[in-house]
Amino acid sequence: MPIINLSIPEAHHHQRIDNFLVSYFKGVPKNHFYKIIRTGELRVNKGRVSPYYHLVTGDILRIPPLRTASSHTDHHVPKIKLSLLFEDNYLMAVNKPNDLAVHGGSGVSFGVIELLRSQYPNSDLSLVHRIDKSTSGLLLVAKKRSALRALQEQLRKRTMGKHYLAIVSGLWPQDLRHLELSLKKTRVVGPTKENQMVVQVVPPGQGVLTLTEVIQVQYLMDFSLLELKIHTGHTHQIRVHLAHYGFPIIGDEKYGSFALNKRLASQGHSALLLHAWKLSLSHPLDQKNVQLTAPIHPAFRSFLKTYPPNTPDIANELRADYL
């Protein structure tokens, strides 16, 4: 393909550039788009952007010659059945497993969105938001561009309620309820000498101010089960908040306790115990309230059975609410 100069129409206003490119240029591998964005070959208004840049109506994209996928370069998307929690003509909600990425790229050949697009080949599917590969639970996918814009507007205005479950090391203090920190992404040299992205706590004013609220605490022997509500959205927000206060999430390889994770892994508990549990949103068609709940995944359930709550009554509540 030759060099393309493309003006973004209003229909794609605020769509993420990586999703736009994948839907607009059929047959081009997603990894190729990440490469040309990362190297600066793709320009927006003559400048460089990240793969997470949200397009604005009238943006001018300069797109270098693209290579289409061939039988040798295209990644095969397997047939994996995903657990659908909700679906209509405008959106769907998936209960994402804790070992599946939300999209391909950066060494990952496929994710939830590629699986769904292969199963719904004639649909215009887009991720409304993202959760980490190692995090399980609710993931929203829009089936129409109008639904995507409406749902992302709720995220921007913070009117969409997002509740998580996490199991942490230690007994959480009952009076610690509001976790407010400034966070900033940075790259550091990892244990195998490659650069890896981490999120760090920085002084106020030097990063993005984030807020996580602890709604409920249940004690599990030497651990705590927390219900959390996030009032802001930032990469690794919950994981960094809890680790910073001295209560890392079980199975967190990046921000958690290496020694504890190793001991628990020897007992068969190696998954990150963070679950996107509930979502409350206004339907993009009629603004009616939609309440969604994602059952916890087997690794989460296994840990609760191994380390039951200290109080039998609470154990019964957990079976009713989470299992």
Give the tokens for residue 151. 């749902």
Burial of residue 267 (number of CB atoms within 10 Å: 0-12, 13-18, 19+): exposed
Angle at CA of residue 252, ends 250 and 256, nearest 5°: 85
Known catalytic residue: 222? no
Nearest to 30 by CA among 42, 18, 43: 18
The pairs formed by 241-246 with CB atoms below 8 angstroms and a separation of 24 or more are: 241/179, 241/181, 241/210, 241/212, 242/166, 242/168, 242/179, 244/179, 244/181, 244/201, 245/176, 245/179, 246/170
* DSSP characters over 272-291: --EEEEEEEEE-TTT--EEE
Sign of the torsion angle spanned by Cα atoms 127, 131, 133, 139: negative
Catalytic option among 132, 222, 252, 321: 132
Active-site positions? 132
